[in-house]
Structure 1
């Protein structure tokens, strides 16, 4: 019998809205026992620091470089993750000694898969010292060394969850609508296919922050007052990204936001919600079989306009769309859970990525493990 470990996953995604913390007991294979979770939001001042990090990272040519203020931002980010871990442990009456490993994502500040370059700031050694718990981090780099795109890494966890989907038989498609959306197809024959599917929340967030001074369109309230501008939507949906034979992972800057002259506030939000939904269905055309069930996680599932568009578009193809909660999962913590799962697999040298998920030449493990 494989060893079951207790792991904490830490995720800060492309939406840059905060840190998700989740507990998992797992053998890194079929055993998955989901535990409590916690969301720790960033205040606006630190989100501005992360935006600065994105700008300053643009000149990086070697992944260990930390130009400008990146080193200090990396330290600040790491210490915030350490505080989040301590808060989580205290809230759940857990001792650090009860945790075998932390899976630490850090914050992606640069992702250029065509150049085999990806940078996630986050000091794993510092986090281990601050928490007193071993840390597995830098989980994407080895995939790129072996010809992969460095993303997505979550599919192997989705495949483990798929065995527990009572709603319908396989195949099933998990969709994470974060800053960038990605999907995972789990077939009845065990095949796993995963890739980024297009812009998710990032374009909407950038639009409403610039034109309304709010960080995101809560519940799709702004979008609900607008209309889809077809020309603007087509500008995004006609991107070669959707028709290219090779699936590639995306950086948050690959789809730039509209200009202020393209739309009024509500119409822009409404159009970008439609783009996020349509991107998923359009990209699903590259799967082995069009799914009949989509399980949606990530912050985008809370945008009711986006979700209604997604349901309408999927229904035209004979498919159903449900939120993660309807399948018995937690749509907020799934990626953090995945990082806990990946950390355990990293400890055991198990593959994190596969040819069907990142394009890597052969299944490979990865990550750096540091002890306190």
Structure 2
């Protein structure tokens, strides 16, 4: 039986899809990352996925078509990765496919709530020729959990050390952190907005998809009145388990706070404030958990934002802030590799969640299978 798995991840940053080919030896031992590929979304698909984060006309129809388009995008990227690695579909045991989160409301409305990741898993299985494990968050939510974050268990398996207390921070559209103390415990939660607000603001004012290296934010000054108002959002005071998404942190949320300011700030000052918000959300979370960490390993697109990395280091003077590359897994591969790991756990009948992280009633095997 093959020990090769592929993980597919498209996150809240909406920058596209990452695929990682990984080997998980049956007899145990370290994961091997064997290949990585990335494909940006088309402009039309990106705009439609972003639009579907809010209620709108004919959204059931539009969501179904977007799920099909996403499956085709995933399948195209899988084919590229297989060709690059000189492999055939039958060489792969399974794909772990995240899908695109468009709603995340665990515990709300009826006491259970829901989380929704768009993806036509059946179409992906048809087009890729590989068994697909998807819908990886719903079982945790059904068991009373947040359905997120799911990566801390993977982070413990890959980065955890018995002689060091460290943390792994993923900065995508939303930021989430895994705390990996040397005593073997694993904790984790969402911190708050990562890139989502910064990306929205620079797209509106500069026509750019993202603020490369945080250079535009570096030209501005933090607006204290705005920063304090943003940090007063009740989410930041919630104890774990906690998770969030674009349901809360979106452009209209920011506008509500801008409208209440005594003066209108410059656009670059708002960008600087949003970057500071992302950094403070992480630093304040770590302080509230009273964790003493030797290292903070950062992955995701935010790890490429030099200004944000510098602010994290300034706010965490006793902790070495570094990219995950230094621990052996490049920043843009970590999340996709985690979903390869979750597919492996499903196939081998092993739980993928950590109740201490998500708040679920117990360990659960996560996902639904579409056989090849």
TM-score normalised per structure 1? 0.91
Residue 32 of structure 1 is matched in structure 2 by: 31
Q: In the alignment, which residue of structure 2 is the partner of 1:293?
A: 295
Of residues 223, 228, 233 in structure 2, which corresponds to 1:239? 233
For residue 243 of structure 1, report the CA deviation from its aligned partner: 2.0
Cα distance between partner residues in 1 of 2:356 and 2:290: 11
The DSSP-based 3-state class of the residue aligned with 1:222 is: helix
> Residue 362 in 1 paired to residue 356 in 2?
no
* Aligned length in residues: 359
* 1:136 corresponds to which of 133, 136, 147: 133
Tell me the equivalent position of 2:79. Answer: 86
- Asked if 1 retains the 8 angstrom alpha-carbon contact of 2:196 and 2:250, the reply is no
Displacement of 1:285: 2.8
1:74 and 2:74 matched: no
Question: Which stretch of the first structure deviates more once superposed, 270-279 or 66-75?
Answer: 66-75
The superposition leaves residues 173-197 of structure 1 with CA deviations (integer Å, 9 ceiling, x where unpaired) of: 0000010000001122211101101
- More displaced stretch, 254-263 vs 325-334: 254-263
Deviation for aligned residue 1:27: 4.4
Question: Cα deviation per residue 1:140-190 (whole Å; 9 max; x = unaligned)?
Answer: 000011110010011111001124x6xx93211000001000000112221
Contact 1:30 1:160 in 2 (8 A): no
Aligned partners of 1:274, 1:76: CA distance in 2, in Å?
Answer: 35
1:223 is displaced (CA, Å) by 0.8
Moved more, 278-287 or 204-213: 278-287
Corresponding residue for residue 43 of structure 2 = 44
**Cα gap change, 1:22/1:247 in structure 2, threshold over 3 Å: closer, same or farther?**
same
Residue in structure 1 matched with residue 247 of structure 2 by the alignment: 253
Match of 1:275 among 263, 274, 277: 277
Does residue 1:53 correspond to 2:52, yes or no?
yes
CA distance in 2, matches of 1:242, 1:159: 25
Distance 2:57 2:293 in 1: 37
The alpha-carbon deviation at position 215 of structure 1 amounts to: 1.2
Cα drift, residue 286 of structure 1: 4.0
SS of equivalent residue, structure 2 residue 222: coil
| 2:21 maps to 1:23 | yes
| Matched residue, 2:320 | 320
Moved more, 212-221 or 136-145: 212-221
Q: Per-residue deviation at 1:290? A: 3.1
Instruction: Quote the residue 2:191 is aligned against.
Output: 197
1:110 corresponds in structure 2 to 103
Shift of 1:81: 0.6
For the aligned residue pairs, the C-alpha RMSD in angstroms reads 2.0
8 A contact 2:21–2:36 mirrored in 1: yes
Q: Tell me the distance in 2 between the aligned counterparts of 1:212 and 1:368.
A: 41
Tell me by how many angstroms 1:67 deviates: 1.4
Looking at structure 2, the residues matched to 133 and 57 of structure 1 have their Cα atoms a distance apart, in angstroms, of 34
- Gap change, CA 1:27 and 1:145, over 3 Å in 2: farther
- CA offset digits 1:307-361 (Å, max 9, x no partner): 110000000xx21111111222210010000000000001122111122211112
295 and 30 in structure 1: CA distance in 2 versus 1, 3 angstrom threshold:
same
Offset of residue 104 of structure 1: 0.4
Whole-Å Cα distance in 1 between the matches of residues 249 and 51 of structure 2?
19
Range with greater deviation from structure 2 (302-311 or 90-99):
90-99
Structure 1 residue 369 displacement after superposition: 1.2
Q: Mapping of 1:302-341 within 5 angstroms?
A: 302-315=304-317, 318-341=318-341
- Work out whether residues 56 and 70 of structure 1, in 8 Å CA contact, stay in contact via their aligned partners in 2: no
CA distance in 1, matches of 2:90, 2:25: 18
Contact 1:23–1:34 (Cα < 8 Å) also in 2? yes
Distance 1:209 1:299, change over 3 A: same
| SS of residue in 2 equivalent to 1:182 | strand
1:245 Cα offset (Å): 3.1
User: Using a 3 Å threshold, how does the CA distance of structure 1 residues 286 and 5 change in structure 2: closer, same or farther?
Assistant: farther
**For structure 2, which runs of at least 5 residues remain unmatched after alignment?**
none
For 1:222, the equivalent position in structure 2 comes to 216
- SS of the residue corresponding to residue 54 of structure 1 reads coil
For residues 156 and 225 of structure 1, the distance between their equivalents in structure 2, rounded to whole angstroms, comes to 38
2:121 pairs with 1:124? yes
